[in-house]
């Protein structure tokens, strides 16, 4: 399997696509709540003004969630476009750390030697779920070898998935 094919099936790529879909779901939920609230307000007064206000609020939230989704999907596009600038390594995920920003997720601190023999210390993105029902449960990846893409210029790491060679 080529590196590009592995990227499309990778942990990072699928996680970002899931995040973008989540923004769409949040927008629908926010729109439903706004419309229910505005229906209640419209029943006691001017119905058209309440619906117009609800529509405007829904569009504003839609723009915010769309920007967030586009930014997330843009990271995937950037990875696909620039994957040849990354080196592939097989590393052990043995040092999980709970994310402070995303409390239900963890990232791993990675230590490995690059192609020149220098030791690299970096971290993955917080994509590993602390819950067993998550998309990428921490328990399935802890103490496992995974293939990563590493860009030495910006110290960026992308997790492809469980290592093909163990």
User: Of 33, 53, 82, at which residue does a domain stop?
Assistant: 82
| Residue-wise pLDDT tens digits, 4-15 | 889 999 989 999
Q: What was the pLDDT predicted at 51?
A: 83
Q: Is 148 left (phi over 0), alpha (psi -120 to 50) or beta?
A: beta
Q: Could you tell me if 10 and 159 are in contact, meaning their C-beta atoms sit under 8 angstroms apart?
A: yes
Q: Using CA atoms in the order 116, 119, 124, 129, what is the torsion angle rounded to 10 degrees? A: 130
Domain count, the chain: 2
- Which domain covers residue 132, as residue numbers? 86-162
Same domain? 65 vs 106: no
User: Of 59, 82, 105, at which residue does a domain stop?
Assistant: 82
Same domain? 77 vs 134: no
Q: What was the pLDDT predicted at 106?
A: 92
Q: Could you tell me if 79 and 7 are in contact, meaning their C-beta atoms sit under 8 angstroms apart?
A: yes
| Residue-wise pLDDT tens digits, 120-150 | 999 999 989 988 877 888 899 999 999 999 9
Same domain? 78 vs 9: yes
Same domain? 64 vs 118: no
What is the residue-level pLDDT of the chain in tens, covering all 166 positions? 678 889 999 989 999 999 999 999 999 999 999 888 888 776 667 788 888 888 899 999 999 999 999 999 999 999 999 988 999 999 999 989 998 887 889 999 999 998 888 999 999 999 899 888 778 888 999 999 999 999 988 889 999 999 876 5
Same domain? 49 vs 114: no
Closest among 18, 19, 105, 15 to 68, alpha carbons compared = 19
Q: What DSSP string describes 23-81?
A: HHHHHHHHHHHHHHHHHHHHHTS-HHHHHHHHHHHHHHHHHHHHHHHHHHHHHHHHHHH
The pair phi, psi for residue 113, each rounded to 5°, is -95, 135
Same domain? 74 vs 106: no
Same domain? 77 vs 7: yes
State pTM to two decimals: 0.80
Same domain? 114 vs 144: yes
Q: What was the pLDDT predicted at 124?
A: 92
């Amino acid at each position: 399997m080529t590196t590009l094919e592995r990227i499309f099936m990778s942990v990072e790529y699928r996680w970002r696509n899931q995040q973008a879909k989540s923004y769409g779901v949040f927008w629908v939920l926010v729109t439903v709540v706004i419309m229910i609230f505005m229906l209640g307000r419209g029943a006691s007064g001017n119905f058209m003004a309440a619906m117009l206000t609800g529509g405007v609020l829904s569009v504003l939230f839609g723009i915010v969630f769309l920007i967030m989704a586009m930014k997330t999907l843009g990271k995937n596009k950037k990875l696909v476009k620039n994957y040849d600038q990354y080196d592939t390594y097989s590393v052990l995920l043995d040092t999980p750390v709970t994310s402070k920003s995303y409390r239900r997720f963890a990232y791993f601190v990675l230590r490995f030697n690059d192609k020149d023999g220098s030791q690299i210390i970096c971290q993955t993105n917080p994509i590993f779920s602390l819950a067993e029902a998550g998309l990428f449960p921490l328990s399935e990846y802890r103490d496992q070898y995974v293939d990563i893409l590493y860009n030495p210029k910006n110290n960026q790491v992308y997790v492809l998935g469980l290592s093909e060679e163990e």
